[in-house]
Structure formats: C-alpha cells, structure tokens
Amino acid sequence: MTSPTVKSRFMLKKSNLFMAAFTCVLMLPYIAAAQSSDFGNWLIYIGNKKVNSKWNIHNEVQYRNYDVIGDLEQLLFRTGVGYNLSENNHNLLLGYGYIISQNYIANTQEKIDINEHRIFQQFTSKQNIGSISLSHRYRFEQRFVEADFKMRLRYFLGLKIPLIKNEDLPSKLYVSAYNEVFMNTESEVFDRNRVYLGLGYQLHKNARIEAGYMNQLFENSSRDQFNLITFISF
C-alpha cells in the first residue's frame, strides 16, 4: 500500500512537471515571434452565469492579434441566454455577437475596419467516456457584415483528459483538444477549420485556465495561433 508521503511526493513531482510544460507553452508565441511575425495570439475570456437549474447567461470576450501582441486583428464580444434541456448536459442557447475586425488591405500595411453584428443559435451536448469528457456544439450564425448578410454553420468537437488520476483527489491538470469546422451556406461552402491542443489547470471549482496551440486552415492558406483562455462560472 502506498503511503501518504509517497503519494504527496508523486503529486508534487507531477505538478512541477506540469508547471514546467505549462511555462513552455506560454513561451511559444515569443519563440515564434523571434522566428516569424506570422504567429497570432488570442487572449480569451469565457464566462457562464448559472441563473438556476434551467437557465444560464453566456458572456465572452476575445482579443485577437496578428502577432504576439499589439497588432489587433479582431475584437469579439459575445453573449447569450441558454436553457438546459437536462442539467449539465444538453443546452440550447440564443446569442448575439459584435465583432470589430481590422483587415490589412492587400499588398499594403494599411488596415480597414470591418464591423459585424452576429445572431446565433446553438445546441451543446456533453458526455463522459471513462475519465474523458466530450463536448459537441452545433452553431448556426446569421452574420451582418457591414452591408452584406451571410449565414454559416459550425460544428465543434472537444475533449478534456485529466493528466493525473487519483482516487482521493480530483485531477486539476488536464489536456484539452478540439476540432471545429465552419461551413458557409453559399457557393464557397468550406470556410475554415480549427484544430487546437492545449494544457489546462483547474484553479478553482468555478475557474480554470488553458494555454495551447491552434491552427486555422482556410481554403488557400493556414495560420498558427497561440491561445490563452480563462473559463469562469458564477
């Protein structure tokens, strides 16, 4: 039988290894910046306010940069009201987003501001397979981009895997990964695909933080991003 002292040392060693790995992940954008200026950086806050067992309020802010920091690509605000079909499992949400984009004009260093108002409906489903948590999200967007109107479908598949499995103490360390595909309703159906892999830490039962790498694949190009994400439930 393993003694408490041995268990404590093991947990401390695992925690130190995680913190070292987490620090390396945090350094990724700065390492990339030294090599190339084409490595984006996204700072993301995702909040959820539980009103009661049925209703919740979603709120989100994303600060997206072309480079490590200081070259704004996009500022996104998103909110919505959700209804649980079953608690902590199936959720319907009606939401609104406001997005300010600063797009570079082709072959220049000048930018143009693009404003977008977005209405969206989504259904989220969660399930557990052993210690692995899976989440599915289906989202339909109606996008008012300046004078244009567009519609888009999105499917998100995410998973969360605890790094340390202990019977006495739930794991605070985990690996997070997801894939999300975007499909337009017009002639050019494929819009983009996002693949993400990150490390996460449960700071509190209502708060966690993640840092990871994301690749965005477009029809004729791709882009690498560093994501730093904070999740808070109220």
What is the DSSP secondary structure assignment for residue 33, as one 8-state letter? H
18-47 burial, b at 16+ Cβ within 10 Å, e below that, comes to: beeebeebeebbeebbeeeeebbbbebebb
Per-residue pLDDT of 107-156, as tens digits, reads: 888 999 999 999 999 999 999 999 999 999 999 999 999 999 999 999 99
pLDDT at 69 over 90: no
Residues making up the chain, counted from first to last: 234
Per-residue pLDDT of 11-56, as tens digits, reads: 445 455 555 555 555 555 544 444 444 789 999 999 999 999 999 9
Per-residue pLDDT of 29-39, as tens digits, reads: 544 444 444 78
Q: What is the CATH number of domain 4-233?
A: 2.40.160
Q: Provide the pLDDT for residue 193.
A: 98
With helix as H, strand as E and coil as C, how does 43-93 read? EEEEEEEECCCCEEEEEEEEEEECCCCCCEEEEEEEEEEEEEEECCCEEEE
Q: Are 229 and 210 in contact (CB under 8 A)?
A: yes
Q: What are φ and ψ of residue 218, in 5° steps?
A: -105, 180
Query: Sorting pLDDT into bands at 50, 70 and 90, what band is 3?
Result: low
Task: Identify which of 68, 39, 74, 45 has the alpha carbon closest to the alpha carbon of residue 58.
Answer: 45
Per-residue pLDDT of 153-185, as tens digits, reads: 999 999 999 997 665 556 789 999 999 999 999
Q: Provide the pLDDT for residue 26.
A: 52
What are the residue ranges spanned by the domains of the chain? 4-233
Q: Compute the average pLDDT of residues 73-98.
A: 95
Q: Provide the pLDDT for residue 36.
A: 46
Average pLDDT, the chain: 87
